[in-house]
Structure 1
């Protein structure tokens, strides 16, 4: 289950500096109070991005404001827009944040043939972005099932709890007029910077913002991605007697989980910053959130409410997915947890395989990445090959077609992912034609595969190419094909795969492993005309049913190899999962210590094989 407050990308493959982005909006609040709506939109963007360690704290962040307001459709909206813009400007000036860009859409009206007119509520979408000092320190919103830890509530608003403009009010078909805001921007800035210090010092186990849905939604979302555990929450220390306001008010704030061994240090940092905090609870083994206020106790079933929370996504998915896949996703998402099993010999260290990221001398083991117009995965693939010990060459189809490149001195070729020729003829069909109908390219390909000292790898679009050219099973009369996903949607997800017992060059040593990996494809379904045991299956999705099997592949196949194990075609992107920080999930007990994931071993295996067989 994808769950995150901000998006973070690394600036290079060393996994340190990066860029974070986050969003904020409050359309219901803006209906009731346009000024408060602007403040809440900025607040949500900032309490979302606060979990990434910004290089210079709040000074690293710039905002973009996208104003969507029905000024041309409704009298009085011009004045409301002015009020909203001024409030955002004043708040950002007080926070010392710039808003250098944005856009406006001032019609926001849909007219239908029957004369009906729908007017969108005036709102501002705030995007926050800035430089991250270390992408590995980003805090996840997923609660850690750790006995000796505590949850704290930190209020950023300095305001009374109010229900106007909340999701709770909307659920009652109301808007209200008593909307929360941020009463003290200076305090908000202090609270933000205090959380930043905690993030940078890695004193927070998990953290999540309070915005749409209020505190109870925040607490539940922190539990949804787990299969076990819950919370015991006591709200007696919060100075409000109205349990509904405490749980559902959308006053800006955060919930943090702190290991008990770090409590004194966390409290010291918050106290020195003048930031208030309230201890509200602890983890529990029970699969519920138990909320107590004075003598009353309320029980919230996490798994039941997760289905309620997910149901709106299911209703939208029904309009997009084919072949009943929306229903399968809704039924199976909680039945398919990601399982990870590493070989006991794997240390997670570069030194285990003798790898040096600072290597600048050629190894003499040559790999070529072959790309066509529209492929886009060559840079990360090149780096992983380089890190594994290959000297990497960039080869375009033009090089092969013209005869400038013959592949005679190349030991391994890799066809990477992307959308060659925009997939207008079908995935990789145009790319395959570039080989088949150009004599020099065809000769280079045939000569390469005729040699016994070569390896090849096709990932995603490259997998489709290898299947289209029949490079994996050249002896078969009936060829396997790559078809559209059963859902008829582009599937992008981080999911589990299993490496069965096999003797392939790249995956043989990984046999028995269960690993996480990224998929991103629209035509990834292996359609295989023979029984499973006819093929050298070296990678399978860990679940047979959608969405664990994201495309409906026969036998849940994710990758197959030639009978001699030298040539491999796979749909998932192993090159995008070689570092722990690239993974959407990685075992917590290894996350901070491992330099690489087991996928790097596959590239090392390829290099070692070439060293042993090079002529």
Structure 2
């Protein structure tokens, strides 16, 4: 029986991840009370055995006390990393925390069974000087006898294991990471593009990988649109969507924060005349991300055809694009849609089509993006920034064989690897586009199309990882503020 559940959270700032930090101790909370049963465990499977008695929750009250204790620890900020003890036991949990943090680990346990038992429990990463406070908090919830320090981070990228006072293992973190990833690599090699699978596996756990970083070329807290917010004017922006589009709310929120009045405009509103793009108060048009028509007609293609095959809408879009006082932004599915409408957009003749990712899979990840020096009004003052951004698409490959001109296209952004170099390999380049290309613009900068999702990471708290202050706006909000500055 598999039981799953979900709930809305009023505040995600207390989210824990397995990312282990330097200078941490590992605290195990063992709901199995030291019984270390191995029945059905990975260790038993490797040995070709059943393993005897299987783990169980012998006292449900322990689980409720653990939940209460974790709530207190989260509120106090005492814990910096978290992992459940499940498949592979403490050994697998500690290794996965080390992989996430790119740090070495030293484990010290009483027995091999304690290392591999899959009894219920959790592993907490705790600053070394805060261990006493964490153990005290667990004690207040009746878990003091079940909690103990089982390890600490190491100064080098190696994993060491001491069992019963005897050193039994010492391995480079890189070698363990490669072994851990091997099954996923082999599956991906059969299911996906084998070349991409090989590239991802080769990069996993690399000793010289510095990890993600946030390197804006400007101060994200500097609100360049602030001088325009008290003028009493809020220019109108049409937040355009079609059946299957799902990023319109975040997009509207970003433009609202930047000082625009946002209007939820469905394609049927344009077809029925309920919204008029020719209204001079409408200064911006944003085609949002998602999966219009389920991408069954090609990503963004069906959406574009609903314009191209309707003469009135085709003329309306063309007239809007040719007005000198308008701007437009296409994000993800909207980028694909705009690329298919490039013949209507002045200056977009060299834009490519965006087709199936080289990996042959839908890509959803946080990727490093570099903003290039370009005329785009959205990226004004941002050139040189290298910042993580949300990626979520199956068809993001900039395909110049389908249309466009790779030598003439105006590039606005590209993927880079964690070292800041142009991303040519997967997964740093998630779609395989030449030179990591993922955003294009026009000579006057009024029109930009990009595959990643800045609207989904406009606040640092929306990032699955960031080094920025969690309560602050992310560097990507600058894009929307730039649009407000351009309107004036």
TM over 0.5: yes
- SS, match of residue 493 in structure 1: strand
1:58 aligns to what? none
The CA distance in 1 between the partners of 2:327 and 2:142, in whole Å, is: 61
- The residue correspondences of 1:319-358 to structure 2 (distance < 5 A) are 319-322=190-193, 324-334=195-205, 338-343=211-216, 345-348=218-221, 354=226
* Equivalent residue for 2:300, pick from 428, 444, 450: 428
> How far 1:353 sits from its partner (Å)?
5.4
2:32 aligns to what? 157
* Equivalent residue for 2:101, pick from 226, 240, 245: 226
Cα displacement string for residues 347-375 of structure 1 (whole angstroms, at most 9, x for unaligned residues): 547x675499xx99974211101222222
The CA distance in 1 between the partners of 2:227 and 2:143, in whole Å, is: 46
> Residue 488 in 1 paired to residue 360 in 2?
yes
* Equivalent residue for 1:274, pick from 138, 142, 155: 142
- Structure 1 stretches of 4+ with a deviation exceeding 6 A read 359-362
- SS, match of residue 161 in structure 2: strand
> How far 1:323 sits from its partner (Å)?
5.6
Determine which structure has greater relative contact order: mean sequence separation of CA pairs < 8 Å that are 6+ residues apart, divided by chain length.
Answer: 2
- SS, match of residue 411 in structure 1: strand
Q: Is the 8 A contact 1:472 1:568 kept in 2?
A: no
* Equivalent residue for 1:144, pick from 7, 16, 21: 21
- SS, match of residue 193 in structure 1: helix
* Equivalent residue for 1:215, pick from 74, 77, 90: 90
The CA distance in 2 between the partners of 1:522 and 1:164, in whole Å, is: 41
Specify whether residues 476 and 171 from structure 1 end up closer, same or farther in structure 2 by C-alpha distance, changes over 3 A only.
same
- SS, match of residue 517 in structure 1: strand
Q: Is the 8 A contact 1:415 1:457 kept in 2?
A: yes
- Between 539-548 and 153-162, the greater mean CA deviation after superposition: 153-162
RMSD: 2.6
Q: Is the 8 A contact 2:38 2:53 kept in 1?
A: yes
> Residue 311 in 1 paired to residue 176 in 2?
no
> Residue 177 in 1 paired to residue 52 in 2?
yes
The CA distance in 2 between the partners of 1:532 and 1:488, in whole Å, is: 22
- Report the TM-score, using the length of structure 2 for normalisation: 0.90
Provide the aligned length of Structure 1 versus Structure 2. Answer: 473
> Residue 196 in 1 paired to residue 66 in 2?
no
Specify whether residues 505 and 398 from structure 1 end up closer, same or farther in structure 2 by C-alpha distance, changes over 3 A only.
same
- The residue correspondences of 1:45-444 to structure 2 (distance < 5 A) are 124-130=1-7, 132-145=9-22, 147=23, 149-227=24-102, 229-235=103-109, 240=110, 243-276=111-144, 277-297=147-167, 298-322=169-193, 324-334=195-205, 338-343=211-216, 345-348=218-221, 354=226, 363-407=233-277, 408=279, 409-444=281-316
Specify whether residues 360 and 397 from structure 1 end up closer, same or farther in structure 2 by C-alpha distance, changes over 3 A only.
farther
Q: Is the 8 A contact 1:532 1:555 kept in 2?
A: no
The CA distance in 2 between the partners of 1:208 and 1:255, in whole Å, is: 5
> How far 1:474 sits from its partner (Å)?
4.5
The CA distance in 2 between the partners of 1:510 and 1:185, in whole Å, is: 54
1:52 aligns to what? none
2:420 aligns to what? none
* Equivalent residue for 1:573, pick from 404, 429, 453: 453
1:499 aligns to what? 371
- Report the TM-score, using the length of structure 1 for normalisation: 0.72
Q: Structure 1: which 5+ runs fail to align?
A: 1-123
The CA distance in 2 between the partners of 1:386 and 1:478, in whole Å, is: 32
